Amino acid sequence: MLKRITLLGPPGAGKGTQAKLLAAKNGLSHLSTGDILRDEVACDTELGRLAKGYMDRGDLVPDTLIIDMIKGRLDEDSGFILDGFPRTVTQAEALEKIILIDVAINIALSREEVIRRLSSRRVCRDCGKIYNLLYNSPKNEGVCDACGGELFQRDDDRREVIENRYDVYIDATAPLINFYKERSLLKNVDGSQPTELVSDQILAALRSS
C-alpha cells in the first residue's frame, strides 16, 4: 500500500469519509486541515481567529497559515492521508519541499451535486456527529441520535457560501489536477457513486499505482 496520499476534489466530494476509511484499513494517519482549523477556531487560538473570517466567507485560508500548520504534522515513516491539503499549486510546491507524496486521488463531483450534498448537512452542537438529510438523517428531526443534542447547519454549509466555495475551488484548487497529472501521480475516481463504490475505486487506483 502506498503510504503518502493526498485526496483532491471539491467540497462535499467525500474526501473526509474516504480518508477515514483508507486510514482505518491501512494503518495510516488521517490529516484533515478542515478539522484542524475548526478545532483551532473552537479553542479560540491565534490561528483560529485568523482563519475564522476566511472560513465563514468560504474563502481559502492563506497558504502561509496552512503550510506552517501542516508542516509539523507530517510523518513519512508512519504514512499519512492528506484531506484538504494541498489546496493550491503554491501549497503543493511547498509540500514537495517538505515531503514527496506517492499518489493524488481526485474525487470528481459536479457543482450542483456539491450544493445539494453540503446544504443538506447538519452537525450536533454537543458531540459533533455529522448527519446528511439526503442519506443519513436523524431519527428525530433536529435531534442527534447519539446524544440528543441540537443539530444545526454550519455557516460554511449555507447555499451562498457553498457556491462561493465551489467557485474558489475551481479557481484555486482545480489547477492541482494538472500539477499532479504532469508528475504522473494523479488518479481520478467518480465521486457521484455510493461511498462503498468510491472506496473500491480508490483502492483499485492505489493498487495500480
Active site residues: 15, 87, 121, 154, 165
Residue recorded with cell 494538472: 178
Cα(109)–Cα(84) distance, rounded to whole angstroms?
Answer: 15
The CA–CA distances, whole Å, from 44 to 33, 47, 118, 159 equal 16, 8, 25, 26
Which residues are CB-contacts of 88 (< 8 A; sequence separation ≥ 6)? Answer: 60, 63, 172, 173, 175, 176
Place of cell 499549486: 89
Q: Read off the DSSP letter of residue 188.
A: E
Whose cell is 493550491? That residue is 88
- Reading the block at residue 84, the C-alpha cell is 484538504
Q: State the DSSP code for 14.
A: S
In terms of Cα–Cα distance, which of 38, 207, 8 is closest to 130?
Answer: 38
Closest CA to 15 of 83, 113, 88, 102: 83
Name every residue whose Cβ is closer than 8 Å to that of residue 32 and which is 6 or more positions away in sequence. Answer: 16, 19, 83, 84
